[in-house]
Structure 1
């Protein structure tokens, strides 16, 4: 048979996931073969939960995957358009062999990501992805007889079950009458999150909850983030949230419209969240690029802290291995082990609101009272074209850098060496980039800021002047 469209999938595995330009590299013929490879990975036996976001390219590629997986005898449970946490929830609920999710993400326009999950709803490890690569390269696929082709089934009403399951992990009375500005970023969370949260008597101001005809921008965009900030302040809301497209993480705003720093949110959970406080004997799992202040907080609470690489599945696997009670990354993902070994922005929202209700404190005060570390800071006024192109400028696929690039949803983090990083965040109310650097030495902080500033100024000359 005409099998190989490329000899290896190595070039389209980026940061542990399949990622490439849709309908240019990720064509339906290739994704059909990938579905068959996944079926071979499962030894031609199993049930897979599949889902996607709203983009039409994701819909196209999911259908291509479906034909390939079914050809190897794999049964599929189709959620159609769905937030990622609901797919992970369904993997566990239905005892499936795993799952696959198609999303265009937020940072790289026209690039589609394909993410694989095991039977626990945990994203594939490097070893699992290596096995997929090996099957592809060895052409080790076995198609089944026509009578054994897998079945495709829809699973309706799962959202209703999910909407009842998530609130079971909080004290519902503590979130009543809170006011929330919620931007669903044109993602499937727009169908799930508003009814889930409003069903708990949370007052919702919903933004971008519908299905657009065309999505031709990265979302959440810097403009939409500014809008959320302004609406939170103007409406006297208790909190604002701008979700990522897949619903696994979000940007959080306090009642003043200021964006909450992820390290501060982690510290707040460590100090106040009930399941963590009641299980101080259970360790915390965190990505190794979080602020050093997280170690100090854990020392203060007497809780053991394990650092891991922030690669797909790593935090989840270590929560299971070490029986951790909580996991967190500086990319905006928070893992509550009592619920599951994956991040769900809906649960995170509720956990924050519960802490606000328990302490009777606004979010801004809760964050102010978390321990702080001293970071070097610089504010750079720069052309808006450069700000909008930050994900492209620092795209590790396109360019080689002496630092690792981490997408933190609002801005990016550049890690130069262990313990030395710089966070780039667009200013909310003017055309500027804010740089926050942390290292063990002031000299290293200064060198990191200087290097990044030189890159930004160079890009301003190339991009910014084009509109003048």
Structure 2
């Protein structure tokens, strides 16, 4: 007899199980659903099978073939567009001249099809529908029958007030070929919604077959897990592959189970697996072919697909691990979580209950996954890495931002006040508003600063006595991402301790929402910009600037500084020509990913217009780079030295703070001007902490980030630029002349790829290599030489090392980098090969 298997669906509800595998080929107890259905059909004499396919149909046809291996004849009917359940059968009408069976490809059942066929013949039915009972029929289409089992009514997904039967359509039909003429051709047409009601209305005899059999619709991951467990507990009568080495423990060929491994029934283990000593394969676990399970791993009630790797001491409970997944040591995958094909789950990671990870994702070691991971490739161990940055509407969504705001609010406590500002982009507005919603929900009062550059946001935090602050911006280097920064009550980026506390609340869902009467308020401070401008004009002595009227070319990078910087420089007496100072919300961002390109354009403009100075602010105005009156680009290290000299002259000495990578020339300047150098680790937070601790008069680095602690504890490119103009005018000089007074020095930087896991060994080997030299280990290894120095440190990118050097000539600095780069490469080679 002939049967039609409907296998054209996309299996959307089962994703990520069906992201790469068609739904009919999803394994149930290590065998695809479709193969189990074919075996059931063959058992009851249905040996000519037509499979209707659409989505990923080629994969199905290649895996199943012509059926000869299964003892049946199989042909395929291809759908180039959705035809519906009945339409797909109508599509093969020419092959169906006698009584035939139709069955769905997403059910697990042991129905006696022979008895159903006999029932169909006995009743002279044109269509017999297999029925099954359920406690919750409202999720299905119910069928009402009389005492003879003749169908009298169909009701598609009724409300509880319409439930007159507990019998539902099981998706298995025995049909007479004449009913096919009632199916509309070349249209999407459904059995239960259209054909059967039409036949019933026309008076044709339709019957429901209600036998004693197992049936389960595998419609979602939870039902998928249940189907596997039901096979192990023998609720369904199907064949289990492998040898039953003990009662209810089935093991495939070539599998190695070490002596001290523990296997607790019922369990199925596929072919060619290895289970190391100390591993526990707990009850109701199914392991596919070629799976490795390391020492001390514990698997309970879990489904593991082929060629997965479960490293030592990992813990899996009631979850699904798909093909070629690598679960790291001590990782935990919790109840009803699903890990898609080819994912890597880092050691000590935690995948929270019911979370789905789509294929080809890398979950960094120590991560806690609290949301489904569909897009992107990498999930970091924490939220923070120089603030929080991610792809807009993929990694950072309004929902994510609202939860993040609520987590921050929970940490701060009810009635705390948070100042929040943004750049001029619509996506930043969207995320800022979501953050505000989350903050308010945890009882926080919000100062909505609207569009402001970051130095004004950090300044407003202190002016308005806020408990904390937040900035939201679209980074200049990536149109598709968003960046969120959190500040404490001093306007300083929150400490690592606070970051960890925010992450703990966020990931562990410790958020505290307040009752409606305690929801926070939103106010719009009207003078935030005005206060900043007035205070800056008091900090700067601009009386001489007004007299000289220097010509300034100001590049605002189309950032939020565009609303304040041009007018501010005019107020202190400059003639200002603005570049890239537009605030269009949907503007394509001025590309600042390569600052040299911007500086080159700025340099040309300065020369053409005979300006006194060119200023390039970054898009949030935290940093500033400069071009002198001759159009020469002032390198970041030289600008830093110039600022330090200016501050020491003004203050007649004092402590200044710079990173360990800053030029040795700074020490010479400080020695000459009664200054003291405080060296810090690289990074903004270490610089600020040391600056406060040592009551420094100035801090900065070679990237153009300059801090004037008398004004605020934050990088401020606007203030730094105004101060430099004041210094030039006060010295009655030009920027080029002042820069020329700084002794010549030459610096170079190089980045070397180094696998993350080799970092420790590389550092130890470098210390051994440098033992004859004077070294510092403040941040990495700084080696002092007769003709300069070299600093080697693990990079901000976790798979790199950074090399900084300074020497008497450019060639010597470059040679230092090349030499120590070769040393690192040799160390890595030795670690990898043992040679």
Deviation at 1:318, TM superposition (A): 2.1
Q: Is the 8 A contact 1:106 1:220 kept in 2?
A: yes
Q: Is the 8 A contact 1:270 1:277 kept in 2?
A: no
Q: Is the 8 A contact 2:554 2:577 kept in 1?
A: yes
**1:313 — aligned with what?**
685
Inter-CA distance 198–23: structure 2 relative to 1 (3 Å threshold) = same
Superposed, 1:193-232 pairs within 5 Å as: 193-212=565-584, 213-216=586-589, 218-219=591-592, 222-232=596-606
Inter-CA distance 248–63: structure 2 relative to 1 (3 Å threshold) = same
Inter-CA distance 377–290: structure 2 relative to 1 (3 Å threshold) = closer
Q: Is the 8 A contact 2:436 2:446 kept in 1?
A: yes
Between the aligned partners of 2:816 and 2:638, the Cα distance in structure 1 is 25
From 705, 711, 727, the counterpart of 1:333: 705
**1:105 — aligned with what?**
475
Superposed, 1:100-179 pairs within 5 Å as: 100-176=470-546, 177-179=549-551
Inter-CA distance 450–56: structure 2 relative to 1 (3 Å threshold) = farther
Between the aligned partners of 1:440 and 1:74, the Cα distance in structure 2 is 55
Between the aligned partners of 1:117 and 1:261, the Cα distance in structure 2 is 29
**1:268 — aligned with what?**
642
Deviation at 1:295, TM superposition (A): 2.1
1:28 lines up with 2:394 in the alignment: no
Q: Is the 8 A contact 1:55 1:215 kept in 2?
A: no
**1:370 — aligned with what?**
742
Q: Which has the higher contact order (CA 8 A, sep 6+)?
A: 1
Q: Is the 8 A contact 2:418 2:445 kept in 1?
A: yes
Report the TM-score when normalising by structure 2.
0.46
Q: Is the 8 A contact 1:84 1:247 kept in 2?
A: yes
Tell me the secondary structure at the aligned position of residue 634 of structure 2: coil
Deviation at 1:440, TM superposition (A): 9.9
**1:431 — aligned with what?**
none
CA RMSD between the two structures: 3.5
Between the aligned partners of 2:736 and 2:425, the Cα distance in structure 1 is 35
From 157, 175, 190, the counterpart of 2:562: 190
Q: Is the 8 A contact 1:84 1:248 kept in 2?
A: yes
Deviation at 1:356, TM superposition (A): 0.9
Work out which of the two has the higher radius of gyration on C-alpha atoms and give 1 or 2.
2
**1:299 — aligned with what?**
671
Between the aligned partners of 2:680 and 2:519, the Cα distance in structure 1 is 40
From 414, 434, 439, the counterpart of 1:64: 434
Inter-CA distance 440–27: structure 2 relative to 1 (3 Å threshold) = farther
Between the aligned partners of 2:815 and 2:638, the Cα distance in structure 1 is 23
Deviation at 1:373, TM superposition (A): 2.4
Between the aligned partners of 2:523 and 2:749, the Cα distance in structure 1 is 53
Q: Larger % of strand: which? A: 2
Inter-CA distance 370–223: structure 2 relative to 1 (3 Å threshold) = closer
Q: Larger % of helix: which? A: 1
Deviation at 1:142, TM superposition (A): 0.7
Deviation at 1:94, TM superposition (A): 0.5
Deviates more, 1:32-41 or 1:126-135: 126-135
Unaligned runs of 5+ residues in structure 2 are 1-352, 356-369, 763-778, 783-788, 793-802, 823-835
Aligned residues: 414
From 354, 371, 391, the counterpart of 1:5: 371
Tell me the secondary structure at the aligned position of residue 429 of structure 2: helix
Tell me the secondary structure at the aligned position of residue 434 of structure 2: helix
1:289-345 Cα offsets, whole Å, 9 max, x none, are: 212222222222232211112334322222222111111112211111221111211
Deviates more, 1:182-191 or 1:3-12: 3-12
1:345 lines up with 2:751 in the alignment: no
Tell me the secondary structure at the aligned position of residue 143 of structure 1: coil
Tell me the secondary structure at the aligned position of residue 286 of structure 1: strand
Between the aligned partners of 2:813 and 2:614, the Cα distance in structure 1 is 35
Q: Is the 8 A contact 1:66 1:76 kept in 2?
A: yes
